[in-house]
Amino acid sequence: MTRKPHNQDAGYIASRRHPTIKGTPGQGGTGWVVIYEAELQGIDVDGLRYAVVCCSHGTIAGESSMRGARSSMKSPANFCDDCREGF
């Protein structure tokens, strides 16, 4: 397992692990939230530049600014219902 499993992905910008989120298999039991350049990763978020992905739950948020993207990365409960409900 690499320390940052997503940094080879197309359009990768930043990632953060969230010990409170259950990870997907192979990710060491800890959930990740990743910021991508949406177009490079092939994610359509209504034309917004950045896509913030809760990997454990498959939830995607679109953000127009890096500032907004970083804020969503820090607080995935703001866009991910499953995180908010503690799954």
Binding site for Zn ion (CB under 5 A): 54, 57, 80, 82-83
In terms of CB distance, is 25 or 47 closer to Zn ion? 25
Single-letter amino acid, residue 10 = A
Measuring CA to CA, how many Å separate 18 from each of 71, 79, 86? Answer: 14, 14, 12
Q: How far apart are CA 62 and CA 78, in angstroms?
A: 12
Minimal distance, residue 57 CB to Zn ion, in Å: 3
Least Cβ distance, residue 80 to Zn ion (angstroms): 3
Q: Please, which residue, 47 or 56, has the CB nearer to Zn ion?
A: 56
